[in-house]
């Protein structure tokens, strides 16, 4: 018991000891590797399994191919979500900026989401859509 009291006494003294000042120097350098990552969230529960089953590898087409089709799909989707008689089927607009580089994987997945909507849900978005499946 005396050993425990002595140990607690030493810990108390060590905790009360004067603290040293810690200096943190600010540097004027800015990290040039400012990376932004994007994520595509699809709320349709059947899409992920369909995507894994039917999609081709992302390298099958170029990023420019996916971007070109995605821009057309997004424009048609946003137009139809406002003005189409079945606007409730296309719930909400898609915020896709063709000036932003979303990367190959995001463009690939977005492209196949549109394929899923057209082929699996039977909702026509474009009249001249590609036959990717």
Q: What pLDDT, in 10s, does the model give residues 80-90?
A: 888 876 656 66
Longest dimension (CA), the chain: 87
Over range 9-20, report the average pLDDT: 50
How far apart are alpha carbons 113 and 77 in whole angstroms? 12
pLDDT at 66: 94
Read off the pLDDT band of 74 (50, 70, 90).
very high
Residues 99, 105, 106, CA angle at the centre, nearest 5°?
50
From CA 67, how far away is CA 26, in angstroms rounded? 42
Sign of torsion over alpha carbons 82, 83, 88, 90: negative
- Residues 71-99: what's their mean pLDDT? 82
**Cβ atoms 80, 72 nearer than 8 A:** no
Give the pLDDT confidence of 57-67 residue by residue, as tens digits. 888 999 999 99
d(CA 132, CA 128): 12
Q: So where are the chain's domains?
A: 52-133
Lowest mean pLDDT among 39-43, 47-51, 117-121: 39-43
């Amino acid at each position: 018991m005396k050993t425990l009291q002595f140990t607690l006494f030493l810990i108390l003294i060590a905790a009360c000891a004067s603290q040293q000042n810690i200096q943190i120097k600010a540097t004027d350098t800015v990290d040039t590797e400012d990376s932004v990552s994007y994520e595509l969230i699809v709320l349709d529960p059947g899409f992920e399994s369909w995507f894994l089953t039917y999609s081709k590898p992302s390298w099958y087409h170029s990023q420019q191919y996916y971007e070109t089709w995605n821009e057309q799909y997004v424009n048609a989707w946003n137009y139809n979500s406002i003005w189409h008689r079945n606007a409730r089927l296309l719930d909400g607009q898609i915020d896709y900026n063709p000036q932003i580089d979303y990367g190959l994987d995001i463009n690939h997945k977005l492209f196949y989401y549109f394929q899923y909507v057209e082929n699996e849900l039977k909702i026509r978005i474009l009249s001249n859509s590609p036959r990717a499946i």
